[in-house]
Amino acid sequence: MNDKTYGFETLSIHAGAAPDPTTGSRALPIHQTTAYVFEDADHAAALFNLQTVGFIYSRLTNPTNAALEARLATLEGGRGCTVTSSGHAAQVLGLFPLMSPGADIVASSRLYGGSLQQMRNTYPKFGWAAKIVDADEPENFKRAVTENTKAFFIESLANPGGVVSDIEAIARIAEASGVPLLVDNTLATPYLCKPIDYGATLIVHSTTKFLCGTGTSMGGAVVDSGKFDWSRKGSNGAGKFPSLAGPEPAYHGLNFYETFGDMAYTFHSHAVGLRDLGPSQAPFNAWLTMLGMETLGLRMERHCANAAKVAAHLEKHPAVAWVNYAGLPSNKYNKLAKKYLPKGAGSIFTFGVKGGYEVGVKVVDSVELFSHLANIGDAKSLIIHHASTTHRQLSDEQRVAAGAGPDVLRLSIGIETVDDIIADLDQALAKATA
């Protein structure tokens, strides 16, 4: 389908999934198979040599997964997509074609805590380094660039603090530095923000969250804009991205960028990344995510409307010390939210309770409609007190620096009747502060 012809909601339902040509099934089939029969020896050879497109083995490609990849690429305005087993797997796969031992990335300090841990403690085991900078000042990225820098990494809308990144400004610095900009668009989804329109090269998602929308299916995705020149050279004259624009030994010296052009990154992610790292998404999870995405626009509209009302209510609540939601006029990121998130500032935000740690714990123990768990992006409203759960291993100082101080509660506002959501928070706050 042509994304210039149809609206977002139409594409959310139809992109990537036509009626099944064999059976006429209107619903997308779940291709729960490991492998595919070749037509003959020549067909098999052509598939393995990347001379023709088709299915070999479900670690590499699967028809159900391919439908999800087509839908995500269409909604993000990208050229190609690769789905993975989780959001963290998508981040590793996303960087894999770019990095090598000794390479570094420059990343925002305003990222999901699990992403920062991945960068600080896991990537060094691969010989990769991550320089963490304050993204509120885009020039910090420019100051951190070295000859070994291979990518910038930010979140369009940060988890959990609701920080909005100035994508366009950071993308200009990335372009001038000759490196791709990776944007985690999980919290915003392409319904609220399309980072490629502002210069992003690659988009990563945890499809586990809003894209699926029901809290049932783990998954991740990497979407390529198809707009980056992977043949760029460094100051020493050598290619900056030899995995994409140099000879690939596993395919008899094939050069992905010369051979596949604007699909080079996506072909490499399947033919090398999924082949060697193996973080493939289960076809059943892809099917459930496709089903969830049919209502993405409707859900995000309600998520945002509910979150805006809840945040405004809490901002005036006597038991609440502060609210950090970019949709509030009082928020420091409100101007950026209007630019990059014109349809709404998402449904994830944090607030602080008066009374600190003890009151925070009592609130999560007192909610009835909210579910106390470590996930976001569900149709159901969710709550967590980070200091007593996900960040309890850190010191008090580290928790505060991570935006998980003793008074902080994170909400993922669902699509229930908003008056019921507010009433549940009111009664929990009343019990906690009695």
Digit-coded pLDDT (tens) for 167-207 = 999 999 999 999 999 999 999 999 999 999 999 999 999 99
Class of domain 8-292 as given by CATH: alpha beta
Q: Note the pLDDT of residue 138.
A: 97
Looking at residue 4, its pLDDT comes to 61
Predicted confidence (pLDDT) at residue 1 exceeds the cutoff of 70? no
Task: Tell me whether strands 408-412 and 382-384 are parallel, antiparallel or unpaired.
Answer: antiparallel
* Residues 148, 105 contacting (CB under 8 angstroms): no
Calpha distance 260→122 (Å, rounded): 31
Q: Residue 302, Cβ neighbours under 10 Å: how many?
A: 19
Q: Are 350 and 411 in contact (CB under 8 A)?
A: yes
> Can you tell me the distance from the alpha carbon of 376 to that of 210, in angstroms, rounded to the nearest whole number?
8
Q: What is the pLDDT of residues 223-271, one digit of tens each?
A: 999 999 999 998 888 899 999 999 999 999 999 999 999 999 999 999 9
Radius of gyration of the chain (CA): 22
Region 364-375 average pLDDT: 95
Enumerate residues 6+ apart whose C-beta is below 8 A from 216. Answer: 288
pTM of the model: 0.95
Is the pLDDT confidence value at 344 over 60? yes
* More confident position, 212 or 374: 212
Q: Where are the domains of the chain?
A: 8-292, 296-433
**Residue 406 confidence (pLDDT) above 60:** yes
Q: What is the pLDDT of residue 394?
A: 66
Q: What is the pLDDT of residues 83-128, one digit of tens each?
A: 999 999 999 999 999 999 999 999 999 888 889 889 999 999 999 9
Pick from 145, 152, 150, 179: nearest CA to 166: 152
Considering the domain 296-433 in this protein, what is its CATH number? Answer: 3.90.1150.10
- To the nearest 10°, the Cα dihedral for 255, 257, 260, 264? 110
CA 405 to centroid of chain Cα atoms? 25
Cβ atoms of residues 372 and 364 within 8 Å: yes
Contact 327, 307 (CB under 8 A): yes
Q: Judge whether residue 3 has pLDDT over 70.
A: no
